[in-house]
């Protein structure tokens, strides 16, 4: 290496280190964000008993959260594609903070719904812009960056129920307010990320090319591919919602385990989601998105079909395998969709995070109705067929990044 090249190499190395520090900061804040959010379904047994709620009302709490999250995310993503807002990340966390405080003090069912909706608004602001910044800092390793970002959220989702089991269950609903400290920590970190992002924009490092970017396929083919991806997200999210919202009830009802044991089992399942997300993003950069999508959506089918008939130990083992496989799909689907629509990173992130939240909320509400009328056991028998939708992967065109843009 020449003397002239050495400073340039050092500068590039420092820039890479800075970018990955940003990705890890976003992953850390994603962990805190989803940890706080996941405590809501984790305390459903407490709320059900305290307010004499039925399963449908439990589902509506999830729906209140998921609807605000899903409806606002594409709007936030589209808005920030046109006009990036570096400090909106910290603002989004402030909404989550307000929701937590209200949830800890809520004395009625409508107040609980309002608190869940506020937490959903926080998600709507956080996810699209954080996903954009992670892609910006990825250095071209989009799948790895998205999976690192997403694994933070999955880790937080896993930790939340565990903290609920050992802190909120013994001390009651009011103890949720203790976790507002996590929101303050996240807000301070995200303010620093926003400052880095603003500096990159000022230095000209984030030029937008929304107009004139060619699509990798004709518009009709892109629209068909997006519709298939939405159907795949539906299959994954609806089934996952049956576990995240009702798994504890299922274990308590079918195997007569304690609430704390059920929460620990839920923690194990959510941990498998985090691991699967990390592996899926890493492999997607190496072998392509479509093979990962095939494996993630259709692959769990034998396990979902077997789980309703399994004993306690095998139910937990099968749920871990299902979580590991299904979670590996999201990063692959998101990056594939961003490659389908270049220049719309925020909108695509908002759209697919929004679909994921919205379908999860609708799924939770629908599953609650099924559980009320047919029993909680019937939920897992009906949902076991959802992975059949993975066959739709055959309709996806080859990976967009490997296709020649239309018109070239």
Is 378 a member of any domain? yes
| Model confidence pLDDT, tens digit, residues 51-84 | 888 878 887 887 788 778 777 777 777 787 777 7
Is 10 a member of any domain? no
How much is the pLDDT for 361? 64
| Model confidence pLDDT, tens digit, residues 92-108 | 999 999 998 998 888 88
How much is the pLDDT for 321? 95
How would you write the chain as a 3-class SS string?
A: CCCCHHHHHHHHHHHHHHHHHHHHHHHHHHHHHHHHHHHHHHCHHHHHHHHCCCHHHHHHHHHHHHHHHHHHHHHHHHHHHHCCCCCHHHHHHHHHHHHHHHHHHCCCHHHHHHHHHHHHHHHHHHHHHHHHHHHHCCCCCHHHHHHHHHHHHHHHHHHHHHHHHHHHHHHCHHHHHHHHHHHHHHHHHHHHHHHHHHHHHHCCCCCCCCCCCCCCCCHHHHHHHHHHHHHHHHHHHHHHHHHHHHHHHHHHHHHCCCHHHHHHHHHHHHHHHHHHHHHHHHHHHHHCHHHHHHHHHCCCHHHHHHHHHCCHHHHHHHHHHHHHHHHCHHHHHHHHHHHHCCCCHHHHHHHHHHHHHHHHHHHHHHHHHHHHHHCHHHHHHHHCCHHHHHHHHHHCCCCHHHCCCCCC
Is 273 a member of any domain? yes
How much is the average pLDDT of 254-259?
90
**Residue 270 is part of a domain; what is its CATH number?**
1.20.1250.20
Is 106 a member of any domain? yes
| Model confidence pLDDT, tens digit, residues 269-324 | 878 887 888 788 778 778 888 999 999 999 999 999 999 999 999 999 999 999 99
Is 408 a member of any domain? no
Q: How many domains does the chain have?
A: 1
| Model confidence pLDDT, tens digit, residues 334-367 | 888 888 887 677 677 777 766 666 666 677 778 8
| Model confidence pLDDT, tens digit, residues 189-243 | 999 998 888 887 776 554 544 444 667 778 888 889 988 998 898 888 888 878 8
Residue 128 pLDDT greater than 70, yes or no: yes
Is 2 a member of any domain? no
Is 238 a member of any domain? yes
For residue 78, what are the domain limits?
19-202+215-402
Is 305 a member of any domain? yes
């Amino acid at each position: 290496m020449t003397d002239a090249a050495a400073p340039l190499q050092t500068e590039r190395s420092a820039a890479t280190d800075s970018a990955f520090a940003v990705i890890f900061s976003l992953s850390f804040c994603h962990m805190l964000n989803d940890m706080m959010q996941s405590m809501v379904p984790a305390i459903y047994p407490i709320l059900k008993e305290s307010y004499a709620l039925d399963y449908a009302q439990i589902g509506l709490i999830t729906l209140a959260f998921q609807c605000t999250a899903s409806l606002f995310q594409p709007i936030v993503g589209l808005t920030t594609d046109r006009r990036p807002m570096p400090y909106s990340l910290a603002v989004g966390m402030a909404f989550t903070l307000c929701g937590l405080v209200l949830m800890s003090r809520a004395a009625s069912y409508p107040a609980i719904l309002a608190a869940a909706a506020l937490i959903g608004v926080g998600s709507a602001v956080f996810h699209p812009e954080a996903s954009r910044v992670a892609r910006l800092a990825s250095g071209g390793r989009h799948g790895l960056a998205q999976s690192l970002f997403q694994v933070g959220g999955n880790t937080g989702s896993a930790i939340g129920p565990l903290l609920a089991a050992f802190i909120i269950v013994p001390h009651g609903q009011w103890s949720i307010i203790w976790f507002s400290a996590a929101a303050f920590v996240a807000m301070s970190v995200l303010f620093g990320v926003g400052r880095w992002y603003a500096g990159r924009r000022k230095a000209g490092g984030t030029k937008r090319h929304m107009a004139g970017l060619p699509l990798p396929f004709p518009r009709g083919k892109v629209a068909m591919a997006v519709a298939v991806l939405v159907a795949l997200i539906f299959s994954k999210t609806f089934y996952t919602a049956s576990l995240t919202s009702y798994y504890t009830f299922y274990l308590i009802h079918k195997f007569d385990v304690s609430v704390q044991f059920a929460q620990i089992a839920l923690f194990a399942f959510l941990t498998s989601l985090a691991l699967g997300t990390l592996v899926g993003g890493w492999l997607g950069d190496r072998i392509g998105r479509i093979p990962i999508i095939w494996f993630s959506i259709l692959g769990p089918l034998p396990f979902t079909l077997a789980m309703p008939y399994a004993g306690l130990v095998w139910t937990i083992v099968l749920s871990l395998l299902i979580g590991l496989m299904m979670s590996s799909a999201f990063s692959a689907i998101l990056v594939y969709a961003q490659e389908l629509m270049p220049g719309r990173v925020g909108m695509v992130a908002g759209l697919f995070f929004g679909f994921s939240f919205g379908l999860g909320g609708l799924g939770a509400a629908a599953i609650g109705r099924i559980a009320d009328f047919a029993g909680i056991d019937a939920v897992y028998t009906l949902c076991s067929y959802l992975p059949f939708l993975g066959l739709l992967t055959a309709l996806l065109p080859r990976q967009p990044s490997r296709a020649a843009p239309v018109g070239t």
